[in-house]
């Protein structure tokens, strides 16, 4: 789960990081109150969306007066922000963060995260920060330094000092930097975060390291041991494109016209590939939870068919260890009885309880079309088109 | 021969009294797997499915000479349960549990790397040597004994692929469902090393998917190894939409890893026969093996 900048700063503040003082606002009135409480020469009004590159795409504005804060907040709130990280549809701005403006001497990059490819925690640091940092990796003049760290042992002091040297920091700032890396490690482990990215990390007034922006991702699997995340989850749910419904299935909407309901992510990906190879376009990605109940299947089915642009629904299930074809059949029949699906439904069953599942479908008198293999199913779909 | 397990493998079930632990242990016993006992803290001394239940893995090991353990424990108990199995010297740990916190998985990996234990999973179907031993939740009816080794990240696509192999008359020596989580125990490369030396395996089928770098690692291994057996691969997700990003760290660490095209290209360069369509898996393996 990604969290908003203001939420991340809030979670991290008790670990000793310094951030400019700021307040979140959900309305222009709240923004006005926030600005009145923040003492500053100028203010920054930042759209809170769960995507980056806001700065270059109109999501971060500077206000010279308190009145201007209110005006800018009013413009940003409710608007749709499109950045390279949001996808073409963009994201709606539901809150803004009003922050004390802050002149910087220098801007750097610092992140601690789980490297999904090398399967370890790494600190990433670069002497200059900002957007587009990833394109600078191969630039030997602006290298990104990496340091692998353990989960339970604090990062080695000497290694951190060496990292600080590579960042060209004076002695005073170097020791601040080392301390900040340690705080970051403690925060990541205690908060069960998967990444904490300070970008830019600024030098302010020659002596202070200040995080101007933070991106943070928390581990969904660890939500159970952090009660305080329940509130974040409910606040951020709507803005998440990847809608993980209560029933646990993964649904991502796409632009085609074949609705998909598949058991298992791998088979769902393969099914999408097979459609594309045959010139068909999936309307969605959907994989059922590993242990799917009848109501999971029924809910998933209704979600898929709610999309008016679909011409047919393709159900592809290989009955496996935990989800059997007969349960899926019952779910499909339930969904059909509830919402009278008018689109053709092509069902391909294989594996555990296939025969029983097919019998249930046949006895339901609902006109399901059965296919024996994925190839047969695709041929049926091509005819419908 | 098979890899990792055979008809003599003695298996413990951690969490045997739970619904899933009980159901799948029963099925494994029916298949002929030597399930020799269960471990449930606080339930030591009881019997379940006629098997002895122990409080700890080390007691169970001592009493049963088990060499493998399968875990059906809840996510919050998984780290301690796996580490207990490692400390007790269990050679093969099969972790079915889904949803283990990532930092716990890093902690488990750190401990695994200091030990001789191997772990399959988490969030995986398990392992089967058809006709000999089945550990996990694999639907056994699909699988037939034979000479193809199979390694898969996905579960249901694994079953689909094996069903196709059987339709095309190809049985399997060992099938390993390694799971698709970000942080896992055994990866493709670890299994390929074992299949290389297995005299009952003629060819290996690798079922990969987008994300992570397990396929890229496997390609590097195969290229450096001059692998002596045919390897075939199918990569799911070549037409998947790009995942959402937030911030820049993801792009920095991935440096081009994880995408389907790069995986396909690297595997092809390493001599792997790439299967283009998910309906051509069985047919393609047969063509390559019969050549």
Residues of B with CB below 8 A from A224's CB?
75-76
Residues of B with CB below 8 A from A145's CB?
none
Q: Which fold has domain B10-120?
A: Rossmann fold (3.40.50)
* Structure token digits, residue B63: 């009493």
A112-163: pLDDT as tens digits: 999 988 899 999 999 887 666 666 655 566 788 999 999 999 999 999 999 9
Interface with A, mutate which of B95, B103, B181 (most A CBs under 10 A)? B103
| Architecture of the domain whose range is A243-384 | 3-Layer(aba) Sandwich (3.40)
Band of pLDDT at residue A239, cut at 50, 70 and 90: very low
Q: Which fold has domain B139-289?
A: Rossmann fold (3.40.50)
ipTM at complex level:
0.91
Interface with B, mutate which of A137, A270, A325 (most B CBs under 10 A)? A270
CB-CB: which of A111, A124, A267 is closest to B157? Answer: A267
Which residues, in sequence order, are CB contacts of A246 under 8 Å at separation 6+?
none
- Would B10-120 and B139-289 be classified into the same CATH topology? yes
Decide if pLDDT at B247 tops 70: no
* CATH class assigned to A21-101: alpha beta
pLDDT for B94: 98
Across residues B68-73, what is the average pLDDT? 98
Decide if pLDDT at B267 tops 90: yes
* Domain layout of chain A by residue ranges: 1-19+104-241, 21-101, 243-384
CA distance B207 to B185: 17
The reply to whether residue B209 touches residue A319, judged by beta carbons under 8 angstroms, is: no
Where is B14: in which H helix or E strand? strand B10-14
Q: In this complex, is the C-beta atom of A113 within 8 Å of any C-beta atom belonging to chain B?
A: yes
Decide if pLDDT at A183 tops 90: yes
B125-166: pLDDT as tens digits: 999 999 999 999 999 988 999 999 999 999 999 999 999 999
DSSP code of B140?
A: G
Q: In this complex, is the C-beta atom of A50 within 8 Å of any C-beta atom belonging to chain B?
A: yes
Decide if B26 is catalytic. Answer: no
* Domain layout of chain B by residue ranges: 10-120, 139-289
Locate the chain A residue with the closest alpha carbon to B135. Answer: A321
Q: Provide the chain B residues 223-282 that lie in CB contact (below 8 A) with chain A.
A: 234, 236-241, 244-255, 257-258, 276-279
CA distance A243 to chain B (A): 13
Q: Which fold has domain A1-19+104-241?
A: D-amino Acid Aminotransferase; Chain A, domain 1 (3.30.470)
CA distance A155 to chain B (A): 15
Residues of A with CB below 8 A from B159's CB?
318, 320, 350-351
Please, which residues bridge with residue A144 across strands?
A126
CA distances from A71 to A20, A163, A269 (A): 21, 43, 46
SS3 string of chain A?
A: CEECHHHHHHHHHCCCCCCCCEEEECCHHHHHHHHHHCCCCCEEEEECCCCCCCHHHCCEEEECCHHHHHHHHHHHCCCEECCCCCCCCCEECCCEEEEECCCCCEEEEEEEEEECCCCEEEEEEECCCCCCHHHHCCCCCCCEEEEEECCCCCCCHHHHHHHHHHCCCCHHHHHHHHHHHHHHHHHHHHHCEEEEEEEEEEEECCCEEEECCEEEEECHHHHHHCCCHHHHHHHHCCCCCCEECCCCCEEEECCCCEEEEEECHHHHHHHHHHHHHCCCCECEEEEECCCCCHHHHHHHHHHHHCCCCCCEEEEEEEECCCCCHHHHHHHHHHHHHHHCCCCCEEEEEEECCHHHHHHHHHHCCCCCEEECCHHHHHHHHHHHC
């Amino acid at each position: 789960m990604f969290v908003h900048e203001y939420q991340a700063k809030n979670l991290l503040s008790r670990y000793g990081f310094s951030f400019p003082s700021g307040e979140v606002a959900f309305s222009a009135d709240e923004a006005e109150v926030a600005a009145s409480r923040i003492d500053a020469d100028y203010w920054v009004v930042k759209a809170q969306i769960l995507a980056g590159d806001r700065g270059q795409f109109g999501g971060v504005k500077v206000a010279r007066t308190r009145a201007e804060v209110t005006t800018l907040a009013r413009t940003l709130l409710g608007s749709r922000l499109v950045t390279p990280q949001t996808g073409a549809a963009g994201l709606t701005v539901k809150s803004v963060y009003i922050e004390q403006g802050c002149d910087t001497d220098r801007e750097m990059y610092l992140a601690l995260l789980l490297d999904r490819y090398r399967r370890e925690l790494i600190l990433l640091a670069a002497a200059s920060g900002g957007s587009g940092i990833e394109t600078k990796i191969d630039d030997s003049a602006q290298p990104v330094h990496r340091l692998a760290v353990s989960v339970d042992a604090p990062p080695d002091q000497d290694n951190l000092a060496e990292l600080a040297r590579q960042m060209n920091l004076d002695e005073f700032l170097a020791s601040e930097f080392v301390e900040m890396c340690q705080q970051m490690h403690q925060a990541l482990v205690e908060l069960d975060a998967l990444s904490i990215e300070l970008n830019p990390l600024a030098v302010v007034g020659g002596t202070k390291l200040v995080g101007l922006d933070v991106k943070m991702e928390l581990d969904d699997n660890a939500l159970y041991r952090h009660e305080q995340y329940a509130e974040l989850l409910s606040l951020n749910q709507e803005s998440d494109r990847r809608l993980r419904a209560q029933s646990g299935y993964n649904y991502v909407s796409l632009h085609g016209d074949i609705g998909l309901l598949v058991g298992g992510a791998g088979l769902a990906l393969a099914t999408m590939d097979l459609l594309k190879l045959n010139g068909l376009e999936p309307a969605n990605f959907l994989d059922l939870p590993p242990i799917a109940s009848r109501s999971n299947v029924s809910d998933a089915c209704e979600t898929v068919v709610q999309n008016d642009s679909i011409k047919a629904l393709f159900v592809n299930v290989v009955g496996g260890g935990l989800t059997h074809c007969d349960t899926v059949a019952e779910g499909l029949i339930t969904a059909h009885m509830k919402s009278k699906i008018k689109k053709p439904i092509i069902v391909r069953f294989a594996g555990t309880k296939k025969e029983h599942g097919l019998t249930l479908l046949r006895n339901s008198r609902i006109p399901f079309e059965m296919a024996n293999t994925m190839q047969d199913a695709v041929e049926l779909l091509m005819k419908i088109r | 021969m098979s890899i990792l397990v055979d008809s003599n493998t003695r298996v413990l079930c951690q969490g045997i009294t739970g619904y899933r632990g009980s159901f799948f242990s029963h099925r494994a016993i029916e298949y002929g797997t030597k399930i020799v006992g269960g471990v449930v803290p606080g339930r030591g001394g009881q019997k379940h499915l006629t098997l002895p239940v122990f409080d700890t893995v080390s007691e169970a090991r001592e009493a049963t000479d088990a060499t493998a353990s399968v875990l059906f424990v809840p996510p919050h108990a998984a780290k301690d349960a796996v580490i207990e199995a490692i400390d007790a010297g269990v050679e093969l740990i099969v972790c079915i549990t889904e949803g283990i916190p990532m930092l716990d998985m890093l902690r488990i990996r750190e401990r695994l790397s200091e030990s001789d234990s191997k772990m399959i999973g988490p969030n995986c179907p398990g392992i089967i040597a058809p006709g000999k031993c089945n550990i996990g939740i694999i639907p056994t009816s699909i699988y037939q004994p034979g000479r193809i080794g199979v390694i898969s990240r996905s579960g249901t696509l694994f079953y689909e692929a094996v069903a196709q192999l059987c339709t095309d008359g190809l049985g399997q020596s060992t099938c390993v469902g390694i799971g698709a989580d970000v942080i896992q125990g055994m990866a493709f490369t670890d299994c390929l090393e074992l299949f290389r030396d297995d005299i009952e395996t003629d060819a290996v089928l690798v079922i990969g998917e987008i994300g992570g770098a397990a396929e890229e690692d496997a390609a590097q291994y195969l290229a450096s190894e001059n692998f002596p057996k045919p390897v075939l691969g199918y990569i799911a997700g070549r037409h998947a939409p790009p995942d959402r990003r937030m911030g820049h760290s993801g792009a920095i660490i991935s440096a081009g890893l994880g995408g389907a095209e790069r995986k396909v290209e690297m595997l092809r360069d390493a001599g792997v026969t790439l299967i283009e369509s998910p309906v051509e898996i069985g047919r393609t393996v047969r063509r390559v093996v019969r050549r």
